[in-house]
């Protein structure tokens, strides 16, 4: 006589809970839904709008590359591209150099070290609009404190036209952006500096390396992974800057400080030309991708990190 034990069939739900793949999928689902709803869909919609003649309040029809063709012949658009590239490049380089310098100072054993480290973060903590408003006053054509101080000293006769002259305006907005962005770079690089074992520096010193050699051949290569990440973010933030320009100049004087982001807004929302505004925003993507690729593949070269010359 043989015995037979009947086994209750497992439900599909139970099977699913037993499956690592299914569980993994389930755990990823909320994040995926979130990303699809709030990232992929808006991005896809933006790209689509760039191929339409959509206006605010009116659905558009597909017009292919017409928006891009018009932008190609639009001197204001090319001015904004030039401004964006200059703004991003100059501001990012300055933020990197000054941020690294600040990080190295803060990495030393200074009195009130923690206090200074906290203080450095202030420009980053202040909301951008508020700091932009402060700079608006600082750069005001009539009431600038800089102009006033220089006039008091007797170095200048009249106020400096900070935001009215194209070159001055570009320098001024870059200065404001650098002021605001340095803390992010400095504090992030400071964290990176603290991960470098002191023994490496000591060994290099014992080998007779000068302080510049120690910096160039020990500190910088070991810091490069974090530099890559920090500068990627810094470039992205700078390239897509909007608030600072919008408060300080709204893109003026005569579009001398219009960035692609501010031009996209001006054309898309107050101007009602959603399709064209979207096309300008989409035109930023190749530049952003190039910046990211440069940061990742350029700054993370393994040989360079190891002190080699490629």
Partner 1 sequence: MTLNRRHFLTTSAGLVAATGLGGLGISPAFAQAAAPTYKPEEGASLRLLRWVPFVPGEEAAWLANTKKFTDATGVAVRIDKESWEDVRPKAAVAANIGSGPDMVMSWFDDPQQYPDKLLDLTELGEYLGGAHGGWYPGLEGYAKRDGKFIALPLCAIGNAIVYRDSHMKAAGFNEFPKDTAGFLELCKALQAKGTPAGFPHGKAVGDGNNYAHWLLWSHGGKMVDEAGNVVLNSPETLASVKYAQELYKTFIPGTESWQDVNNNRAFLAGQVSLTANGVSVYYAAIKDPSMKEIAEDMRSVNLPIGPVGESVELHQASTLSVFKHTKYPEAAKAYLQFMYQADNMNSWIEGASAYCCQPLKAFADNPVWTSNPIHAAYAKASGSLRPNGYAGPLGTASAATMADYVLVDMYATAVTGQMSPEDAIAQAERRAQRYYRV
Contacting residue, 83, 232, 238, 266, with partner 1 by CB under 8 A: 266
Peptide bond into 194 cis (omega under 30): no
As a dihedral over the C-alpha atoms of residue 39, residue 40, residue 43, residue 45, rounded to 10 degrees, the angle is -120
* Residue environment code for 76-106, b if the CB has 16+ CB neighbours within 10 A, otherwise e: ebebbbebbeebbebbbebbbebbbebbbeb
In this chain, which stretch among 30-38, 54-62, 180-188, 207-215 interacts with partner 1, using CB under 8 A? 54-62
Spacing of C-alpha 179 from chain mean position: 14
- Does position 60 bind partner 1 by CB under 8 A? no
Is 170 an interacting residue with respect to partner 1 (CB under 8 A)?
Answer: no
Cβ 138 to partner 1, closest distance in Å?
13
* Contact between 56 and partner 1 per CB under 8 A: yes
Site for partner 1 in 219-258 (CB under 8 A): 249-255
Nearer to partner 1 (CB atom), residue 23 or residue 141: 141
- Give φ, ψ of 196 to 5 degrees: -80, 120
Query: 214 and 196 in contact (C-beta within 8 Å)?
Result: no
Q: Binding partner 1 by CB under 8 A: which of 162, 184, 237, 239?
A: 162
Whose Cβ is closer to partner 1: residue 6's or residue 152's?
Answer: 152
Query: Under the criterion CB under 8 A, does residue 58 sit at the interface with partner 1?
Result: yes
Which residues touch 223 (CB under 8 Å, ≥6 apart)?
Answer: 189, 192, 193, 196
Question: CB neighbours of 272 closer than 8 A, spacing ≥ 6?
Answer: 55, 56, 57
Among residues 269, 285, 289, 290, the one that binds partner 1 under rule CB under 8 A: 269
Which phi and psi (to 5°) does residue 148 adopt?
Answer: -60, -45
> Does position 123 bind partner 1 by CB under 8 A?
no
Q: Which is nearer to partner 1, 48 or 304 (CB)?
A: 48
- In the numeric block, the tokens 């906290």 are attached to 118
Q: Which residue lies nearer to partner 1 by CB, 20 or 58?
A: 58
Ranges assigned E (strand) in 4-94: none
Within 130-149, the residues that bind partner 1 by CB under 8 A are: 139-143
Distance of alpha carbon 132 from alpha carbon 115, whole angstroms: 25
According to CB under 8 A, which one of 59, 108, 207, 310 is a site residue for partner 1?
Answer: 59
Terminal-to-terminal C-alpha distance of the chain: 78
Residues 183-212 that bind partner 1 (CB under 8 A): none
Q: Which is nearer to partner 1, 160 or 229 (CB)?
A: 160
- Select the residue interacting with partner 1 from 163, 189, 223, 299 (CB under 8 A): 163
Q: Which residues contribute to the site for partner 1 (CB under 8 A)? A: 55-59, 70, 74-76, 139-143, 158-159, 161-166, 169, 249-255, 266-267, 269-273
């Amino acid at each position: 006589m043989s015995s037979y034990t009947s086994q209750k069939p497992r439900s599909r739900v139970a099977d699913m809970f037993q499956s690592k793949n299914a569980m993994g999928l389930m755990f990823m689902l909320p994040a995926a839904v979130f990303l699809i709803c709030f990232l992929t869909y808006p991005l896809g919609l933006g790209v689509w709008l760039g191929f339409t003649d959509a206006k605010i309040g009116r659905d558009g029809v597909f017009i292919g590359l017409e928006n891009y063709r018009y932008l190609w012949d639009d001197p204001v658009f090319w001015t904004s591209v030039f401004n964006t590239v200059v703004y991003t490049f100059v501001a990012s380089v300055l933020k990197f150099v000054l941020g690294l310098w600040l990080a190295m100072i803060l990495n030393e054993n200074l009195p009130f070290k923690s206090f200074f480290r906290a203080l450095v973060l202030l420009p980053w903590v202040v909301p951008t609009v508020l700091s932009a408003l402060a700079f608006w006053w600082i750069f005001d054509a009539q009431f600038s404190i800089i102009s006033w101080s220089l006039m008091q000293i007797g170095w200048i006769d009249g106020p400096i036209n900070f935001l009215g002259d194209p070159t001055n305006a570009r320098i001024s907005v870059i200065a404001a952006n650098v002021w605001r962005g340095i803390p992010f770079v400095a504090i992030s690089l400071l964290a990176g500096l603290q991960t470098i074992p002191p023994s490496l520096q000591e060994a290099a010193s014992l080998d007779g390396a000068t302080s510049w050699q120690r910096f160039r051949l020990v500190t910088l290569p070991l810091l490069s992974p974090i530099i890559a990440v920090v500068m990627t973010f810094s470039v992205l933030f700078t390239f897509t800057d909007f608030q600072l320009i919008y408060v300080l100049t709204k893109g003026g004087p005569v579009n001398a400080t219009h960035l692609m982001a501010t031009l996209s807004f001006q054309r898309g929302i107050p101007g009602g030309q959603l399709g064209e505004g979207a096309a300008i925003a989409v035109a930023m993507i190749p530049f952003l991708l190039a910046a990211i690729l440069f940061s990742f593949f350029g700054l993370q070269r393994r040989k360079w990190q190891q002190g080699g010359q490629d």
